[in-house]
Structure 1
């Protein structure tokens, strides 16, 4: 050390005297180390400040990008929802038209079947008439022969052979005319029967083509409904709510079923069996009723963000973390967002305010009771703008962001509880991003 910092003397001269201060190697080393430490501390502090400024700018840019992507996704999903609704309406109109045509075809088939039965009955009657006339002709000939023999035996030659021949010719002419009329009638009936059979075959072919077209329409409707229902069911499953429970509760709360979604019932007076098309149509209508119930169920879930994404940033997630006050690893039952004081806090879903008061650790707290046993907590508020028992809707302001209670800064502590058990709020927020 003496080689690096040799002993120095600092002379101090006054009016009459001269003094000196001895700077030993240890004192010089301590001074140099102090200067170096102060310079290093200044460099490190400046670097930390610069990194904090750069990080804050990056987070703001990222939040703006996420907001733009979120809005774009909302617009895209809204357009897809409208397109699916238009497709459903068009498909329902096509289905109604197809059912009308099917009804008309069934009526035509029934009419043709009745005409065919009438023609067959007429043909049978004509055949029986021809047989009866033939038998009467034979009986008349037999009686004529018998009468002729009787007259010849009793009176001798009362009638000549010419008279008998003339009578026989007249009888034969009458019978030939009658048989000709019967033959023409039979021919006309046969032609009508053949036309009825051809028309029945044509109607049967049209019915088969109509069935094929109906099958294609039903298939497209079923695929469109599944493309709408599957994302909605995934939303409920990810939120921990059973789709069956949603359908049951929504339908129980409905006063009446929509007229356009009621099952189709067509009376055929026992002449036709149950139609597969009607069964498929009723199944489609039932699935459309499920879509209606799911959309009503989505409106009753807390799936919206409780704060504006442009003005806040998430500071703590759901799960284990080091407590900012105690320093211990504890379970964090919700999400924390930091932002300016009095940033609007919004209701994440429709419900009734259960609690609106100050509590110890939570500070100013608002608890909203939603359907399906779900509650949302909004803690550390600077102000409370609702009262207990008040009904609120999604997006209504319930207070302002603050730092009341056990808090280290201005932020919102947000919880979602299902039947009293805390769950990850991100599950509901992500579920809402798939729909709205």
Structure 2
């Protein structure tokens, strides 16, 4: 059966591929090679397989080349998008900084106006008290003068009654007309002076009353202006505090605890956060209470400013880069930071004020810089090509501490950036995104 199948296959191949002979001739002899149908079929099948493999391999290479070209183009587009986004964020940050400076200048001017108005209000209050005292003196003098006038009139009436009764003795009768004339002349002069003084005192009283009314009106206008300024300041403090509260809360930090810790660190007399003197004013004065609340809000904003300087809310890079790996599990292991790929030697900056606790080689990280900040925060900067900081060095936000590289366990030039809170790694993007709406 098997021989019969082979025979039929050979006959079929003989029809399609008849036997061929190749003659090989040399100087001394001539030889030939006989190519049987099955040999020709095997050779054709092998050639077909090689040709098909060549076509498939060529197609794969072409598709890979086209795909890699698209990937490079997409990477360039993503890089351009990242760069434009960074430019927009930088411009937004500059605008926010300018607005903050302008707001601070406006607040300083408003505080100067409040201080001037407070001084004017106190001066007007003292002037009002002086006028009230003067009016009281004038009124008492006027009452005394009117009493003297009434007494003089009574005396004149008595003398007139005595003169009408006639002289009691000859000597008294002779002296009575002269005494009466002198007394009347004296009384008339005294009454005239009293009337003049009364009129003058009445004019002074009217002028003092008009001036007191004008001062009271100016005081009312000043109090209304004070109320407007205080309202504007209260709204400005509230609007400025809300984003800061949201930023710290979004980063997982308790704003009240941060404020208290900063306050403890800056509680000395004469320091940047020395005790604030209350505005002068009587106890229970509502304006003084409002001013004290505003000053407390400004004090809290100043404490927030110090807390922000000591917290890693900034970006470690200000050159072009792209995110190549995020925070979380990667290839079955925990990736405790974010990777930002860029050019070799790109400057790496400290993201907050702190102290360098490690500057050198670290297994897995390569060249690494570790900075300890307040509030239990630590940042790490790995795979550096060059370290530009020393252990124990005090750094501020924006200080250059290294250059981007490819050291340690790394597959390409990039920066590995970590943020740790009380020893536990957290997602650095939490801090970066939380600051986007503020800076």
TM-score greater than 0.5 by the shorter chain: yes
Aligned to 1:377: 380
Following superposition, the deviation at residue 40 of structure 1 comes to: 2.9
Match of 1:294 among 304, 318, 322: 304
Match of 2:256 among 244, 253, 259: 244
- C-alpha offsets along residues 241-262 of structure 1, whole Å, 9 cap, x if unaligned? 2333333333333353459993
Number of aligned residue pairs: give it.
Answer: 417
Aligned to 2:5: none
Aligned to 2:327: 318
- Aligned mates of 1:106, 1:346 — CA distance in 2: 52
Correspondence list, 1:3-14, <5 A: 7=13, 8-9=16-17, 11-14=20-23
Q: Per the alignment, do residues 136 and 115 of structure 1 end up closer, same or farther by CA in structure 2, a change over 3 Å counting?
A: same
Q: Are 2:439 and 1:430 aligned?
A: no
- Aligned mates of 1:74, 1:343 — CA distance in 2: 18
Aligned to 1:263: 277
Q: Are 2:84 and 1:68 aligned?
A: yes
Q: Are 2:229 and 1:217 aligned?
A: yes
Aligned to 2:4: none
Q: Are 2:37 and 1:22 aligned?
A: yes
- C-alpha offsets along residues 213-245 of structure 1, whole Å, 9 cap, x if unaligned? 222223333333334333333322222223333
Contact 1:383-1:402 at 8 Å conserved across structures = no
Following superposition, the deviation at residue 417 of structure 1 comes to: 0.7
Segments of structure 1 that go 5 or more residues without pairing to the other structure are 324-328
- Report the RMSD for the aligned CA atoms in angstroms: 3.7
Correspondence list, 1:24-423, <5 A: 32=48, 35-135=51-151, 137-138=153-154, 142=158, 152=168, 155=169, 157-160=170-173, 164=176, 167-254=179-266, 255=268, 256-257=270-271, 262-266=276-280, 274-307=284-317, 309-310=319-320, 312-321=321-330, 323=331, 329-339=332-342, 344-382=347-385, 384-393=387-396, 394-405=398-409, 407-423=410-426
Following superposition, the deviation at residue 420 of structure 1 comes to: 0.9
Segments of structure 2 that go 5 or more residues without pairing to the other structure are 1-7, 25-30
- Aligned mates of 1:224, 1:98 — CA distance in 2: 15
- Aligned mates of 2:370, 2:284 — CA distance in 1: 54
Following superposition, the deviation at residue 418 of structure 1 comes to: 0.4
Contact 2:387-2:401 at 8 Å conserved across structures = no
Q: Per the alignment, do residues 11 and 277 of structure 1 end up closer, same or farther by CA in structure 2, a change over 3 Å counting?
A: farther
Following superposition, the deviation at residue 373 of structure 1 comes to: 0.8
Q: Per the alignment, do residues 93 and 385 of structure 1 end up closer, same or farther by CA in structure 2, a change over 3 Å counting?
A: closer
- C-alpha offsets along residues 38-66 of structure 1, whole Å, 9 cap, x if unaligned? 42343233222322232223223322332
Q: Name the SS for the 1:211 alignment partner.
A: helix
- Aligned mates of 1:145, 1:90 — CA distance in 2: 81
Q: Per the alignment, do residues 309 and 58 of structure 1 end up closer, same or farther by CA in structure 2, a change over 3 Å counting?
A: farther
Contact 2:358-2:371 at 8 Å conserved across structures = yes
Moved more, 237-246 or 34-43: 34-43
Contact 2:23-2:32 at 8 Å conserved across structures = yes
Contact 2:344-2:403 at 8 Å conserved across structures = no
- Aligned mates of 1:368, 1:47 — CA distance in 2: 47
Question: Normalising by the residue count of structure 1, what TM-score does the alignment of the two structures yield?
Answer: 0.80
- Aligned mates of 1:163, 1:107 — CA distance in 2: 62
- Aligned mates of 2:107, 2:389 — CA distance in 1: 45
Q: Name the SS for the 1:302 alignment partner.
A: coil
- C-alpha offsets along residues 312-369 of structure 1, whole Å, 9 cap, x if unaligned? 4322111233x1xxxxx34322112345555554433332222345444444443221
Aligned to 2:27: none
